[in-house]
Chain A
Amino acid sequence: MNGQKKSVALSSGTKPLSLGVWGEESPCGDAETAVGGNVVEDLGDHLGELYSILSFNSTGELLATGDKGGRVVVFQREQESKNQPQRRGEYNVYSTFQSHEPEFDYLKSLEIEEKINKIRWLPQQNAAYFLLSTNDKTVKLWKISERDKRPEGYNLKDEDGRIRDPATITSLRVPVLRPMDLMVEATPRRVFSNGHTYHINSISVNSDCETYMSTDDLRINLWHLEITNRSFNIVDIKPANMEELTEVITAAEFHPHQCNTFVYSSSKGSIRLCDMRASALCDNHSKFFEEPEDPSNRSFFSEIISSISDVKFSHSGRYLMTRDYLTVKVWDLNMESKPLETYQVHDYLRSKLCSLYENDCIFDKFECVWNGSDSVIMTGSYNNFFRMFDRNTKRDVTLEASRENSKPRAVLKPRKVCVGGKRRKDEISVDSLDFSKKILHTTWHPSENIIAVAATNNLYIFQDKVN
């Protein structure tokens, strides 16, 4: 491992925040080899499927991506070699498999999309890797394992697999394992189906490594990883009369260390923390986090923009981060009345909510992510912009993920949106923003300054520049 790399967050002193784009010296076009900082894989060739989720595993060695077509692609970080010290470990395709297929619910005459909504890795316990992937209705446990040996020297069949005539066998031999080209196989080990009436929006693996929960609009179910024909319902907010429905669950996550604690967010902008020790059905929360609404910001769309699209515990387990349409908030678990910090992601959109409602952009669900030390948070925006906020220095930066701006070894230039008045040279005005280019999914390596950003059908991996 390169001992020079920084383990702390981005900024230090007066140095501007920057992320290095690491890459090969020669342009590689659309090659699939991962080039840190350049386009890793262009899904544009694959029927325009869009990335729908990104997830690093617990060591950061693997990065899983899911797309709208139900496919999962897993990238693996290359082992660093002394021969090429400048290549700090690029990500290459490790395994590709079709996780979910489109299905049809005959009872309701509804098609079930194969789009992967969430992927979560299990902590590694042996040589194989396990991940959970889910679409709207079904969660699947996949095992990804390597095979680099194969048995040779069978008695009853020859090397091609043809059965030998027993009469021709004159001696016995013991089959031996011989090395072969590395093959990575993905096999579905469990299928957890028929647990949800509504659309699954989250899955979260418990720190006990035995259970996980799946969340739909109105219910949260607890599953055991070994048992597929039974699950426990732990939260149910469905009203007796559907006419009285006022809020839905939008995301849920287990506490990173306390196996009895989880949180779930709602479309009304509130977060509930529940303790499974309190009762079997956790309809009554232990803590309720909500910030009173600012009456001066009231509009037709106040409810929509307060709906929480993502909730993430900090690695320490002490803080909670939520993302609604215009802001990211950091909450202290010990303070329910208001967030600890609020960061404006793109407040210039507040005056454009009506147009964004018309073109459906106001319903976009942005994710948010912590860095390994919980000092920097990151989330996406429009025009292929993504934003990082340093919680300690209170500095923030806007960066852009695009082919044109990402030459190999180039440093990403901070971008700025001009909200009014005179537009400076490098600024972009609000009206020029491309709302079809949205970065909904971003993820951060668990311990290093490596981020993965999905921009439509391109995946970008950026690394911190090492001087």
Chain B
Amino acid sequence: MERNLIDSQIKGVSTGTTILAVTFNGGVIIGSDSRASIGGYYVSSKTINKLIQVHDRIFCCIAGSLADAQAVTKAAKFQISFHSIQMESPPLVKAAASVLKELCYNNKEELQAGFITAGWDRKKGPQVYTVALGGMLLSQPFTIGGSGSTYIYGYADAKYKPDMSKEECLQFATNALALAMGRDNVSGGVAHLVVITEEGVEHIVIPGDKLPKFHDE
């Protein structure tokens, strides 16, 4: 996902990825594709992990420059872990998102990475936060990001319902990822999904050939 002159000119600064996070009744599902690309023509990794666990019930998915994103999440993971130990309780999802936001905002000149933070905490339950490129922090019931997201705004807006069941939400997220990966050339590989609830964290991997197929596939 290194930046390339042609890439930036055509697509602006959001680069090869599809990420999303969706709340449902009792939890949140966070998902991504697994392709890392250089420019628009070389797949540098088919199986990269874009879902970083920053705490027991809090995950982050990364978009933008992979190097920047990894550096920021590493720093954030440390800060959140330390904060949680000091507080003697699991961190709030909002706190984790704020830590990322502070890192992004205070270093906005150097960084080119955006995040979706999603998780569960005792106070507010399942939550999704977007941390945009410049350091904006926004809470939403669901959100999509990355270059592949542009192809699924219509699908997401039409098909999202609040308070879905876990199965409905999984279906929604899988379909969204499949549709995006089907149209965006810099998104692809396998679909990674993580289901976060009070009880625990479940990681689901769907290989490319097992993804839902649509009319022309």
A and B are interacting partners: no
Q: Enumerate chain A interface residues (CB-CB to B < 8 A).
A: none
Q: Enumerate chain B interface residues (CB-CB to A < 8 A).
A: none
